[in-house]
Structure 1
Amino acid sequence: MLEGAKPILELLRSAPDQVVEVVVTSNFLDRHTSSERKQVLEASGRVYSCPMERFSPLSDVDSSQGILALVRRPTWDQQTILARPRLLGVYGDRLQDPTNLGSIIRTAAALDIGGLWLTAHSVDVFNPKVVRATAGTLFRLPIFLHAELQDLVQAGCTVLAADSAHRDSISLRSIHSLPARTIVALGSEGQGLSPATLQAARTRLTVPLRKGVESLNVAAAAAMILYHLSGLPSSR
């Protein structure tokens, strides 16, 4: 279930066939433009209107915008993604904070990252807090659950591990090119990357920080790393 004007309107623009049903209140219709109202009322799925007092029990937020949608979960073909000659992807190792994961998805979608692979002990990607934090971009990024890093390595991907604690980690600024198929491994703030992930990595990298600042949260680090790497040429 999606809730909120921004993610639902974005989904109606980008993937309207994913929308099964929309529930809307007069509060929403009164506060939005005629084009937005038309977009909702002409949605390909069924549209229901209900008073706010009946809508409120359906909502999981304190101040609802008066619109929610039942949507189909997206499906992606991993083999098609891994067959691309050039790929920059993200491997999330036990990412458990829903807001951080949602922010990473939003950043990755904005930068046209090839995909996100999440380990079995990561937060549910369809957790309402994750969905809200993606701001409607959840359906733009291929996401694969219960991922095993070894599968990506066997598919010919090179792993770069974000590891600020290791003395041999190289500065992000010193990376000027990438293997054509690269996966960036990100760990949870509490546990970091697993030993198996670190062992599989060809390189460990870190975001250079001002002296006295120990670290960034994983969403901020991901944004900086992906922005830098997504603009690099392939190494020869």
Structure 2
Amino acid sequence: MNNYNHEKITSVQNDRVKQWASLLDKKFRDRTGKFVIEGVHLLLEAIKASAPIETIVYDGERGIPPELQTDAADSSSFEWVETSIQVMAKCTGTDTPPPIFAVVGKLEWDESSLFRDNSLVVVLDGVRDPGNVGTIIRSADAVGADAVVLGKGCVDLYNPKTVRSTMGSLFHLPLIEADLTELLPAAKERGIKLIGTSLQATHTCYSYDWTAASWLLLGNESNGLSATVREQADEAVIIPMRGQAESLNVAMAGTVLLYEAMRQREFN
């Protein structure tokens, strides 16, 4: 621990603290190209993924969490700042501040991963809830999907609630923010099938063949896919329901569809 470059800042009025706290606001995240990750698990995932970590800030009263004092979490090359619980609360916006947070540069992913042979990609169109977006990213990571695309109208990928709900998966696969009016026609030109969901669909998700290059289109929680995206879809599928539930939420529906795609591709 001795070789860590430590500074101590305890005042919430400190300029650096104000800069970190401003990253709770999308406008400042966009302007600076930085965001905040909270807690030990996310920080360990970021270190493992060689994410562009700038500063690690921890609560001096609680000390550096033991998981970050091992060789596996080699964090000696980062700037460390010891601070107060008040600063932790101001910068993380949670009711119970975590013991540690870090300022990280936004991730850069290459769009070529979208067009791999046989790609399986999730495309989000106006999905607004941070928990839903985070859960979909985790499910896409779990099945080994090639990427998740966030179209306009989606919640910000770097919103603290979105980041928390990915549980670290945001460091594991390409997450690409794109204009769907340009991207979807480009995918179709390459022979990629665009699949939406519809209660009127003739295919169930189990009778559809997911083994070819497939992009799964998931729409807004209340209104589904926008008209422009729906028009681009090559096929619609329905998730059959035996019970009396009216529908599944978008994250659950996306997970069911992704797992069926993985079953057909890996376990057939």
**What TM-score results when the alignment is normalised by the length of structure 1?**
0.87
Post-superposition offset of 1:19: 1.1
**Residue of structure 1 in register with 2:63 after alignment:** 29
1:13 and 1:102, CA in 2 relative to 1: closer, same or farther beyond 3 A?
same
Q: Partner of 1:173: helix, strand, or coil? A: coil
Q: Partner of 1:65: helix, strand, or coil? A: coil
Post-superposition offset of 1:133: 0.4
**1:74 alignment partner AA:** L
Aligned-partner Cα distance in 2 for 1:138–1:112: 13
Q: Could you tell me whether the CA contact under 8 Å between 1:27 and 1:66 is conserved in 2?
A: no
**Deviates further, 95-104 or 41-50:** 41-50
**Residue of structure 1 in register with 2:260 after alignment:** 228
**1:61 alignment partner AA:** T
**Residue of structure 1 in register with 2:118 after alignment:** 86
**Residue of structure 1 in register with 2:47 after alignment:** 12
Q: 2:246 aligns with which of 183, 195, 214?
A: 214
**What TM-score results when the alignment is normalised by the length of structure 2?**
0.78
Q: Partner of 1:233: helix, strand, or coil? A: helix
Q: Could you tell me whether the CA contact under 8 Å between 1:22 and 1:45 is conserved in 2?
A: yes
Matched, 1:152 2:187: yes
Q: 1:104 aligns with which of 112, 116, 136?
A: 136
**Deviates further, 134-143 or 40-49:** 40-49
Post-superposition offset of 1:191: 1.0
Post-superposition offset of 1:151: 2.5
Aligned-partner Cα distance in 2 for 1:177–1:3: 36
Moved over 3 A (4+): 26-30, 38-41
1:27 and 1:217, CA in 2 relative to 1: closer, same or farther beyond 3 A?
farther
Aligned-partner Cα distance in 1 for 2:163–2:68: 21
**1:20 alignment partner AA:** E
> What are the residue-to-residue correspondences of 1:162-177 with 2, within 5 Å?
162-163=197-198, 165-166=199-200, 168-177=201-210
Q: 1:133 aligns with which of 144, 165, 168?
A: 165
Aligned-partner Cα distance in 2 for 1:75–1:156: 26
**Residue of structure 1 in register with 2:106 after alignment:** 73
Q: Partner of 1:185: helix, strand, or coil? A: strand
Post-superposition offset of 1:76: 1.2
Q: Any unmatched runs of 5+ in structure 2?
A: 1-35
Post-superposition offset of 1:137: 1.2
Post-superposition offset of 1:63: 0.7
Post-superposition offset of 1:136: 1.2
Calculate percent identity across the aligned residue pairs. 27
Q: Could you tell me whether the CA contact under 8 Å between 2:130 and 2:161 is conserved in 1?
A: yes
Aligned-partner Cα distance in 1 for 2:122–2:249: 16
CA deviations on 1:147-181 (whole Å, 9 max, x unpaired) are 32223222331111122x22x342112235422x1
Post-superposition offset of 1:199: 2.4
Report the count of equivalent residues: 227
